[in-house]
Amino acid sequence: MHMIAIGWLWVAFMMAITEKSLVAGVLTFLFYGLFPCAVLLYLLNKQAGRRRRHAQYVRQQETAKTNSAPADPAAAPDNTVDRETSN
């Protein structure tokens, strides 16, 4: 994605240097190049961060499930009532 942004900034720079005045060139570069790229990269990084946080949450939930289950079923407390001894 960064290569696309760099390419677009290059195109905007080339457009800016063909303007008749310095002010027009700077404004062309800002409004056609820098601001749109900044907004696009901000939104895409925000979405990637959301995906990263969700993946980390899922990993934490999976490790919590595996850590809460006893490793040895024989070591688990037996809550069943033995019918032979209860009569």
Say if 69 falls within a structural domain: no
User: According to the model, what pLDDT value does residue 14 have?
Assistant: 95
Q: Percentage of the chain surpassing pLDDT 90? A: 39
Q: In which domain, by residue range, is 41 found? A: 2-63
Matching residue, tokens 């990993």: 59
Q: How many helices (H) and strands (E) does the chain have?
A: 4, 0
C-alpha–C-alpha distance, residues 47 and 25, integer Å:
32
* Residues, the chain: 87
User: According to the model, what pLDDT value does residue 36 have?
Assistant: 93
In total, how many domains does the chain have? 1
